[in-house]
Amino acid sequence: MPLYPHLFTPLDLGFTTLKNRALMGSMHTGLEEHEDAPERLAAFYAERAAGGVSLIVTGGISPNPAGCMYVGSSMLNDASQLARHIPITRAVHANGGKIALQILHTGRYGYHADAVAPSAIASPISAFTPRELSAAEIEQTIADFANTASLAQRAGYDGVEIMGSEGYLINQFLVERSNVRQDAWGGSVANRQRFAIEIAKAVRAALGPNSIVIFRISLLDLVEQGGTLAEAIELAQALELAGVTLLNTGIGWHEARIPTIAATVPRGAYSWVTRALKPHVGIPLIAVNRISTPEIAEAILARGDADMVSLARPLLADPEYLLKAQDGRALEINTCIACNQACLDHVFEGKPASCLVNPRACNETELNVVTSQQPKTIAVVGAGPAGLMAALTAAQAGHYVTLFEAGPEMGGQFGLAQNIPAKAEFSETLRYFTVMLAKFNVEIQLNQRVTAAQLAGKFAEVIVATGVVPRVAKIEGIDHASVVSYPDLISGKVPPKQKIAVIGAGGIGVDVADFLVNGMHTEREYLAEWGVDTTLSHQGGLVAPQVHDSGREVWLLKRSKGKPGAGPGRTTGWIHRIGLQRSGVHLWGGVEYLKIDDAGLHVRHDGVEKCLPVEQIVLCAGQESVSDLYTQLQALQQSVHLIGGALEAGELDAKRAIEQGFKLALTL
């Protein structure tokens, strides 16, 4: 019997069979608009197909100009564009996979002046107010969806996914929040659902009976004036009658102020929503969000929550996720840590997506580990994220690698960060490195603070990844007994007290504040604290959040103006700030630190001198590189390289560190 019997059971769709129950969910990679998109996307998707995924869904492609995310983003509305898609479908098919094109009309989420919507109501996340579609334009838009589906079939796609969730155009028609029309396309529930149903009918008619039609349906909008479960059931049943093959269950609009895919969300936390729909339809349902490991996927399927699971970011992190699971090598999976830093953050910054733990993601045509014809002896000093990646990649290329670490454990700042509730997933990355370093015979020497003399001349190459040390702030009384470093606090060496000031509100300061007021959440606790309606009886799926009391009073302070609390991360910063605010953390910017004494921390804030009566002051005022070894080895004329925090302290950046380690190892 396979280790994951439900995950690896084929799914019979009548006209075709999927080899397992895993779908690669849609992700816009940012490659779609590049000139070399056919080559790069073909390589990207082919690698995932070869890794065992049953069915791939592409990033969103617009059916017309008004539906584009921004001017110049990807469309498929003319036969002249087929040449950009045919290499992709051929590559997937050659590697044993199936692929569907996602048809996405952004509606009022379109970031351009020609955005349209059911009603002229602006979204809180776009600067543009959309124009209301006329009845004739609605009919034309339905035809445009069908046209794109027909073109997708000509390009070799096995089907399409109609994007009807996450707050995009179809979802906008469904709810009173964004549809206040009084004609045949608004008002009653039936009228508001008409657009979605007519699109499904038109797409099925365009494709014929033997193509996959997935509809991504929103079951939990998580916005005011959103939909209800009863409405979603009614729509799902109509979509089944319209010829939809699979229902992919979407959770939350993009403008919702409740996290759905960040690391703060417990794994598999939303599959219960999919389960609520299951008794009401006869077609297969797909569960989504935070299905990070095969164990989570198997549990969802075994419970009967869904018939398939959608894996998006997990397949960015490791294209062989399914192959490794099927072969009994789950510990070798490079698990997604839900950080969003290189995937969603990149796309929202207009850059191609990648992955913090897998820099090859979306770079498959450029970054590949090639076995060296002349293996070298390589020393890597420092087992933080940069050193771990450099050591593993060099060993995978066939070099003889010794990894030295001054401390008793591997991980560096990454290992420290795994103690933060929102970063507990970092332990998965350290597990991956531990397993893979052993597999590729890297010699690991812990508690070894090596000197330049011990290394020079004994290795062909030395990689210095010795990381950082905390910077000591220049404040009168900084040596007071109440002052502690963030490593000592987070590691547990120094226990936290009840009234605490955190000096510095960058990423580390935010993490420390989170550590002090937020513990690990069960699924039930998480849903309650964020106000998710687990009864599915309230419009939009919202109830009043339950306030969490940590029992501590915490001040998060920074010198610069503005309210602190977001930390790094364009798509996740708001989560940290809301969480800290709800936990009662005082968020102060524009703070001048005067002195520290027995009375507490003396500051000037808003022009007024104040004494914060704190028992503990945690220093998070930046870091300094530890690079002496590099300088000493240079003096001894040893071939040496500097990466990670040792090269650039600044704001700690695991994404940059891991990428540096990976790319350097490819050049050795």
State both tokens at 46.
């082919």
How does residue 2 score in pLDDT terms, banded at 50, 70 and 90?
A: confident
Nearest-angstrom CA–CA distance, 150 and 72: 22
pLDDT above 80 for 599 = yes
Helices 135-154 and 189-207, packing angle to 10 deg: 30
| Residues in Cβ contact with 101 at an 8 Å cutoff, skipping those fewer than 6 apart | 57, 58, 61, 76, 85, 148, 149, 152, 155, 157, 159, 160, 161
Catalytic member of 4, 168, 321, 630 = 168
Alpha-carbon separation of residue 610 from 285, 596, 605, 614 (angstroms): 58, 12, 7, 12
At the fourth CATH level, the homologous superfamily of domain 377-469+625-667 is: NAD(P)-binding Rossmann-like Domain (3.40.50.720)
pLDDT above 90 for 435 = yes
Of 200, 202, 206, the residue nearest 239 (C-alpha): 200
Alpha-carbon separation of residue 362 from 20, 47, 156, 265, 319 (angstroms): 24, 10, 22, 25, 11
Of 200, 209, 212, the residue nearest 55 (C-alpha): 212
pLDDT above 70 for 652 = no
What is the percentage of the chain residues whose pLDDT exceeds 70? 99
Which SS3 state, helix, strand or coil, does residue 322 take?
Answer: helix
Domain spans in the chain, listed from the N-terminal domain onward: 11-330, 377-469+625-667, 472-621
Strand partners, 138: none
pLDDT above 90 for 11 = yes
Cα of 368 vs its chain's centroid, Å: 23
Strand partners, 319: none
**Residue pair 437/444 in contact by the 8 Å Cβ criterion:** yes
How does residue 271 score in pLDDT terms, banded at 50, 70 and 90?
A: very high
Nearest-angstrom CA–CA distance, 78 and 123: 29
The pLDDT score that the predictor gives to residue 630 is 98
pLDDT above 90 for 482 = yes
How does residue 543 score in pLDDT terms, banded at 50, 70 and 90?
A: very high
> 622-645 burial, b if ≥16 CB within 10 A, otherwise e?
bbebbbebbebbeeeebebbbbbb
The pLDDT score that the predictor gives to residue 650 is 74
pLDDT tens digits for 111-135? 999 999 999 999 999 999 999 999 9
Full DSSP string of 52-89: T-SEEEEEEEBSSGGG-SSTT--B--SGGGGGGTHHHH
| Residues in Cβ contact with 543 at an 8 Å cutoff, skipping those fewer than 6 apart | 531, 532, 533
Nearest-angstrom CA–CA distance, 542 and 560: 35
pLDDT tens digits for 492-526? 999 999 999 999 998 899 999 999 998 777 899 99
The pLDDT score that the predictor gives to residue 38 is 94
Instruction: Over range 288-311, report the average pLDDT.
Output: 97
How does residue 216 score in pLDDT terms, banded at 50, 70 and 90?
A: very high
Per the annotation, the verdict on 593 as an active-site residue is no
| Residues in Cβ contact with 491 at an 8 Å cutoff, skipping those fewer than 6 apart | 416, 419
Q: Which residue, chain included where needed, has tokens 């027995």?
A: 598
Amino acid identity for residue 125 in this structure: I
Burial class of residue 257 in the structure, from the number of CB atoms within 10 Å of its CB (0-12 exposed, 13-18 middle, 19+ buried): middle
Please give the DSSP secondary-structure letter assigned to residue 501.
Answer: E
**The domain 472-621 is classified under which CATH number: 3.50.50.60, 1.10.3720.10, 1.10.1040.10, 3.40.50.720?**
3.50.50.60
pLDDT above 90 for 568 = no
Amino acid identity for residue 197 in this structure: I
Q: What is the dihedral of CA 278, 279, 282, 285, to 10 degrees?
A: 0
Q: What is the dihedral of CA 353, 355, 360, 366, to 10 degrees?
A: 20
Residue 210 φ then ψ, to 5°: -115, 35
The pLDDT score that the predictor gives to residue 547 is 81
State both tokens at 291.
């299905």
The pLDDT score that the predictor gives to residue 374 is 95
User: Mean pLDDT across the chain, nearest whole number?
Assistant: 95
The pLDDT score that the predictor gives to residue 101 is 98
pLDDT tens digits for 145-177? 999 999 999 999 999 999 999 999 999 999 999
Nearest-angstrom CA–CA distance, 600 and 583: 22
pLDDT above 80 for 657 = yes
pLDDT above 90 for 422 = no
Architecture field, domain 11-330: Alpha-Beta Barrel (3.20)
| Residues in Cβ contact with 98 at an 8 Å cutoff, skipping those fewer than 6 apart | 16, 18, 54, 55, 56, 92, 158, 159, 212
* Other residues' Cβ atoms within 10 Å of the Cβ of residue 208: 11
The pLDDT score that the predictor gives to residue 294 is 97
* Other residues' Cβ atoms within 10 Å of the Cβ of residue 370: 9
β-strand pairing of 600-605 with 591-597:
antiparallel
* Other residues' Cβ atoms within 10 Å of the Cβ of residue 546: 12
Return the HEC string of 277-296: HHHHCCCCEEECCCCCCHHH
State both tokens at 467.
């990381």
Please give the angle made by the CA atoms of 177, 182 and 188, to the nearest 5 degrees. 70
Cα of 279 vs its chain's centroid, Å: 31
Q: Pick 623 or 274 by higher pLDDT.
A: 274
Q: Which residue, chain included where needed, has tokens 């005067």?
A: 594
